[in-house]
Amino acid sequence: MPSPRPEGASAYATRFAPSPTGLLHLGHAYSALVAAERARAHGGRFLLRIEDIDTPRCRPEYEAAIYEDLAWLGLEWEEPVMRQSDRRAAHDAALKRLGEMGLLYPCRCTRGDIRAALSAPQEGAPVIGPDGLVYPGTCRGRALEEAGAGDALRLDMARALERLGRARIAFTETGGVVKEPSEMSAAQIIEGIGDVVLARRDIGTSYHLSVVVDDAAQGITEVVRGADLFAATFIHRLLQELLGLPEPAYHHHRLIRDEAGRRLAKRDDARAIRRYREEGSTPEDIHRMLGLEAADS
Ligand code: GLU
């Protein structure tokens, strides 16, 4: 049970939502520190959520390292921490609702099948969306009742937009690092994003579905995350509308890059927060490296 909010306190709530598939690096530190600072500035809440649905890649030692590294950085968050792997029933219920709306279909295409279908002469140049190649629609005619263990479930994007009767999908961006408009027309969404997977065959859910269901469950009013997820936000807004979930604002922040200008990835172990720590850096050094004001002590 959440504790009652003190009178006059802000309803602002944000979160840091790492996946325990590797050690946190400088990019994660930046995300967590920006989110916590925005919560502080708004007199609101800073929550943590462990995004551990990708079970084959998640490890308990990485989850333990997340808590340790964040605490070392000086962050505090509310307990209990939400773990996405405990939320399966809520993810399933959302999926069921979308299925009942007639918006899902089973898909057995492999990446190779998709590439082959897209290389057919009648297809134009393949489009890369937030989830990779935009799906050519091969399985779109299949009925949901046919879904078997080897199938993923995809969202029929054109139908979803039609159901909402929306000519465009928009969101409120408070970050401002991304210069693209935070609105897309239905045609742009169909062509540029397409029928995304909402339930992977291996884990039965997906990042997109779980993130919207769990942001709503945690009462998140502003999602703070890297600019790499900007385009995915159109999918999230669409799912929120379909599922009748509240609309948070989005704050996409700049990405932390290495000297070659590449975005940091979990495999960049050299940038792991704990490597800096082992080499004698202090949390203040990390703040400075990230171009953030050192936290008040
Ligand atoms: N779990 C995602 C990641 O680690 C974060 C997603 C989000 O903030 O929406 O990249």
User: Which of 49, 47, 52, 54 has its CA nearest to residue 85?
Assistant: 52
What distance in Å separates the CA atoms of residue 282 and residue 265, rounded to the nearest whole number? 22
Q: Is residue 47 scored above 70 in pLDDT?
A: yes
Q: Which atom of ligand 1 is nearest the CA belonging to 225? A: 8
Per-residue confidence (pLDDT) for residue 296, from 0 to 100: 47
Judge whether residue 79 has pLDDT over 80: yes
Average pLDDT over residues 133-151: 96
**229 Cβ closer than 6 Å to some ligand 1 atom:** yes
Mean predicted lDDT score pLDDT of the chain = 93
> What residues does 128 pair with on adjacent strands?
133
Task: For tokens 């990446």, name the residue.
Answer: 111
Instruction: Give domain 2-86+267-289's CATH number out of 3.30.70.3040, 3.60.150.10, 3.40.50.12780, 3.40.50.620.
Output: 3.40.50.620
Angle (deg, nearest 10), helices 157-164 and 232-243: 50
3-state secondary structure of 104: strand
Atom of ligand 1 nearest to the CA of 15: 8
Q: What is the percentage of the chain residues whose pLDDT exceeds 70?
A: 94
Task: Let me know if the fold of 2-86+267-289 is the same as that of 88-199.
Answer: no
| DSSP E strand boundaries for 6-158 | 13-16, 45-50, 82-83, 104-107, 128-129, 132-133, 152-155
Task: Give the mutation target among 15, 16, 19 for probing the ligand 1 site: most ligand atoms within 8 A of CB.
Answer: 19
Query: Residue 297 — very low, low, confident or very high, per pLDDT cuts 50/70/90?
Result: very low
What's this model's pTM, rounded to 2 decimal places?
0.93
**223 within 8 A of 250, measured Cβ to Cβ:** yes
Which residue's alpha carbon is at the smallest distance from atom 10 of ligand 1?
18
Q: Residue 66 in contact with residue 296, Cβ under 8 Å? A: no
pLDDT of 268 > 90? The answer is no
CA dihedral 94, 96, 100, 106 (to 10 degrees): 110
Percent of the chain residues topping a pLDDT of 90: 87
Ligand 1: atom nearest CA of 21 is: 4
Are the CB atoms for 147 and 154 separated by under 8 Å? no
Question: Does the Cβ of 266 fall within 6 Å of ligand 1?
Answer: no
Q: Which residue lies with its CA nearest to atom 5 of ligand 1?
A: 17
Residue 5 has pLDDT above 50, yes or no: yes
Average the pLDDT over 229-244 and give the result: 98
Indicate which residue's Cα is closest to atom 2 of ligand 1.
18
Domain 88-199 classification at class level: alpha beta
Least confident of 122-126, 267-271, 278-282: 267-271
Mean pLDDT, range 232-243, rounded to an integer? 98
> Could you give the count of Cα atoms lying within 13 Å of 67 in the half-sphere of its Cβ?
11
Q: What is residue 123's predicted lDDT score, i.e. its pLDDT?
A: 81
211 lines ligand 1 (CB under 6 A): yes
Domain ranges for the chain:
2-86+267-289, 88-199
